Amino acid sequence: MFAQERQESIVSQVNIEGSVRVKDLSVKFAVTEDCIRKDLAILEKRGLLKKAYGGAVSVRQNPHMYNSEERKNTPNHERVLIAQKAMTLIHERDTIFLDVSLASVEIAKLLSESSLQMTVMTNMIDVLNILSHSSHISIVFIGGQLNQECDGFWGSLSVQMIQLFKIDKAFLGVVGVNTLTGQLSTYHVDDGFMKKTLIQQSQMSYLLCEERKFKEDGSFVFASLNDVSGLLTSKELHTNIKEDLEDYGLVII
C-alpha cells in the first residue's frame, strides 16, 4: 500500500471512530510506529486530524446553533430510537425532566400515548403542548426567559425554580460529547447553567445523544461525563468511543 492510500485510510478511520492509536495502525498496515507517526504529522498539517497522546483524534466541529423550528420539520429516526430507549427507564410515579431537545419532543409523544401515571417537568414549549391533554400526566412547566430559536425557557429564574424540586430522572440534550476530555458542551451559557442545575437536582441524569454529538463541540462546557448517570444513543458505538465512555462508569443504552 502506498503512503497516500494508507493516509487516506487513516483519515477515514479516525472520522468514523473518532480516534485511532499508533500501535493499532502499525499492526493494521504492517509498518513501523515511526512511519505511522509521520503519517499523522502530515495529516495534522493538512488539518485532517489532530495528534493526541498515543495516536490521533478527529477534528471536532463547532456547528452553528440550529433553529428548532427548522429541525422539527426534518425527519430523524435517531431521535425516535433514543426516545424509545428513554421509555425503558421511565416508570410509574416517576418525576422526570425533559430538557430542551428535539429528542425530548419524541419522548413526550410516547408518554402521551402511554398509560403511565407520573409527573413531567419541562422548560420546552413543544413538550408542554404535546402533554397538555394527557390526563394521566401531571405537568410542571418551568418558565423564565424565552429563547425563541430553541423553543424553551432559560435564565436565572428558571434555575431558581429548578432548585425547588427533587427530580428522579432528567433527560438532557447536549451539543457535544468529548470522550477524550470528558467535557459536555452546549451553545448557550444560560442553557448550560440550566443543565448543570438539573444534574445537581436529579437522582439520575441521562444524555440524549445522536451519533454526530460525539464529533461536535458547543462553545460552553456545562459538565463532565463524570457528572451524569448514563447516555442514550441511537447506534452501536465504535469501540474506541465505547471504551472511553466505560472508563467514566456510564450506563450506555
Q: What domains appear along the chain, each with residue ranges and CATH number? A: 3-57 (1.10.10), 68-252 (3.40.50.10470)
- For residue 117, how many other CB atoms are within 10 A of its CB? 12
Q: What is the pLDDT of residue 63?
A: 59
Give yes or no for residue 70 having a pLDDT over 70: no
**Closest by alpha carbon to 39, among 53, 55, 27, 28?**
55
Among 37-41, 92-96, 161-165, the minimum mean pLDDT is found in 37-41
Give yes or no for residue 65 having a pLDDT over 80: no
Q: What is the pLDDT of residue 52?
A: 82
Contacts of 37 (CB under 8 A, 6+ apart): 22
Among 55-69, 104-118, 159-173, 233-247, the minimum mean pLDDT is found in 55-69
Instruction: Note the pLDDT tens digit of each residue in 90-135.
Output: 999 999 999 999 999 999 999 999 999 999 999 999 999 999 999 9
Instruction: Note the pLDDT tens digit of each residue in 8-32.
Output: 899 888 887 778 899 999 999 999 9
Round the average pLDDT of the chain to a whole number and report it. Answer: 90
Q: What is the pLDDT of residue 235?
A: 83
Q: Residue ranges of the alpha helices (H) in 60-172? A: 68-72, 77-87, 102-113, 125-131, 156-162
Q: Compute the residue count for the chain.
A: 253
199 pLDDT band, cuts 50/70/90, is very high
- How do 145-147 and 152-154 pair as beta strands? antiparallel
Give yes or no for residue 74 having a pLDDT over 70: no
- How do 55-57 and 95-98 pair as beta strands? unpaired
